[in-house]
Amino acid sequence: MIQTLNPATGEALSTYPCLDAAALDAALTQATRAQAGWARQSFADRAAAVNRLAELLEAEAPVLARQMALEMGKPLAQGEAEARKSALVCRFYAERAEAWLADEAVTVDSGSATVAHAPLGVILGIMPWNYPLWQVLRFAAPTLMAGNTVVLKHAPNVTGTALALAALFDRAGLGEGRYTPLVIDLDATARVIADPRVQAVSLTGSVRAGRAVAAAAGQALKKCVLELGGSDAYVVLDDADIDLAAGACVSARFVNGGQSCIAAKRWIVTAAARPAFEAAVVARLAAEAVGDPLNPATTIGPMARHDLRDELHRQVEASRAAGARVVMGGVCPDGPGSFYPVTLLTDVGPGAPAWDDELFGPVASLIEVADADAALKVANGTPYGLGGAVFSADALLAERFARQLRSGAVGINRGVVSDPRLPFGGIGHSGYGRELSRHGLLEFVNVRALMRA
């Protein structure tokens, strides 16, 4: 059984039975049978269903936002924005998949050749709680448009959101095996990865989860795409526009309560820029409102789970013990719920979790460096490599710096966001493979060569 809790109050919300072995087998059988028929459908028919899903996501955005607020603490306005962005990615692939998967004629020495794209089959998605709609749709929309079917194992604490989303897939004509939610535990998930009816896996989650899924997929000789954690560096150089940099850094760090893989987790600031930058971010952080996610005035809700809040506080305390200075926040509140205050750590150095590890919550880490060369060394001194940003008035310097950052995406005088038009993913402990853009569409197709005499 899976029980969901309200992170704002600690109260139980609902209880859900897990699929037993027979029900899970039936779900995989249905997804397999449905895939053959779905692959034969025209791109126009697939696009019509995916576009209907987009319409439903927009129409049901307030309902979905409330469900997310109750289950994982996302403020209502942010939840509605997530639903609308999820509709956008549906329309994006519905419009482009046919052209992107069209046959490609290739000139060869003799005869002719074609590069063709065929669906792989049933694809397993394992998705996290922090963006319970967006993470699913950015994987499922291209995967379905390519002619695959999807089975989806969502995070347990957002099971209600997962089932509400699955109901929209059904209403759009994407049920009956085309899209199937699996309410299962970790042991059953491992069995699904190993099942020969499943052809590939996409995971968004922690490094620990990524290692487990990659090992299981590798044992079964199946492809996997991994989007894991990040410790994104936002670098502020001497000549940066301080107001621009401070606004981008605060927004990128505290979006979704800081519970984002591409949050600006390390602010690396040169000594010359630090005084003005620190004053600017403190003023902005003072305006953040932590509270009930159902209150429209709230900008930061509770953390998604109590254990996550406790781990974040442990990291803050360990960073303080290692020499970091707590400028604001850093006190774990009493009372119900998984709330944590907006926190700023400065003078962060090596050996502190705020320097070495990923902090997943409303805590910013300010690291002072001497100059651009030192900033680059610190920025790249992490096993992660998802995103990052650099702020400088010198366009050429910023471009050179950005190209040396070890990451999958870089913002130049702006933050990094996931955008359907651009590939999204990382290197190192941030995973491998890509989502979004044409690159994401091609992850779960068989790219094959047809050669003719």
168 is written with which tokens?
Answer: 């929209």
> How confident is the model over 220-250, as pLDDT tens digits?
999 999 999 999 999 999 999 999 999 999 9
Model pLDDT, residue 383: 97
Q: Report the 3 state secondary structure along the chain.
A: CEEEECCCCCCEEEEECCCCHHHHHHHHHHHHHHHHHHHHCCHHHHHHHHHHHHHHHHHCHHHHHHHHHHHHCCCHHHHHHHHHHHHHHHHHHHHHHHHHCCCEEECCCCCEEEEEEEECCEEEEEECCCCCCHHHHHHHHHHHHCCCEEEEEECHHHHHHHHHHHHHHHHCCCCCCCEEECCCCHHHHHHHHHCCCEEEEEEECCHHHHHHHHHHHHHCCCEEEEECCCCCEEEECCCCCHHHHHHHHHHHHHHHHHCCCCCCCEEEEECCCHHHHHHHHHHHHCCCCECCCCCCCCCECCCCCHHHHHHHHHHHHHHHHCCCEEEECCCCCCCCCCCCCCEEEECCCCCCHHHHCCCCCCEEEEEEECCHHHHHHHHCCCCCCCCEEEECCCHHHHHHHHHHCCCCCCEECCCCCCCCCCCECCCHHHEECCECHHHHHHCCEEEEEEEEC
Which residues are marked as active site?
Answer: 227, 261
Average pLDDT, the chain: 98
> How confident is the model over 34-67, as pLDDT tens digits?
999 999 999 999 999 999 999 999 999 999 999 9
What mean pLDDT do residues 381-397 have?
98
Question: Which residue from 307, 321, 407, 319 is spatially nearest to 363, judged by alpha carbons?
Answer: 319
Q: Is the pLDDT of residue 158 over 90?
A: yes
d(CA 163, CA 64): 11
Q: Is the dihedral of CA 7, 11, 12, 13 positive or negative?
A: negative
Question: Which residue from 337, 340, 316, 335 is spatially nearest to 326, judged by alpha carbons?
Answer: 316
> How confident is the model over 200-210, as pLDDT tens digits?
999 999 999 99
d(CA 155, CA 170): 20
- pTM tops 0.95: yes
What mean pLDDT do residues 326-348 have?
96
pLDDT tier, 211 (very low <50, low <70, confident <90, very high otherwise): very high
Q: What is the bridge-based pairing of β-strands 112-119 and 445-452? A: antiparallel
What mean pLDDT do residues 295-310 have?
97
Are residues 372 and 335 in contact, defined by beta-carbon separation less than 8 angstroms? no
Are residues 200 and 223 in contact, defined by beta-carbon separation less than 8 angstroms? yes
pLDDT tier, 335 (very low <50, low <70, confident <90, very high otherwise): confident
d(CA 379, CA 365): 13
What backbone phi and psi angles, to 5 degrees, belong to 298?
A: -75, 135
Model pLDDT, residue 416: 97
| C-alpha distances out from residue 247 to 175, 188, 284, Å | 43, 44, 8
Q: Is the pLDDT of residue 110 over 90?
A: no
Model pLDDT, residue 341: 98
d(CA 129, CA 77): 17
Q: Is the pLDDT of residue 189 over 90?
A: yes
d(CA 451, CA 69): 54
| C-alpha distances out from residue 30 to 140, 166, 197, Å | 17, 15, 10
d(CA 91, CA 81): 16
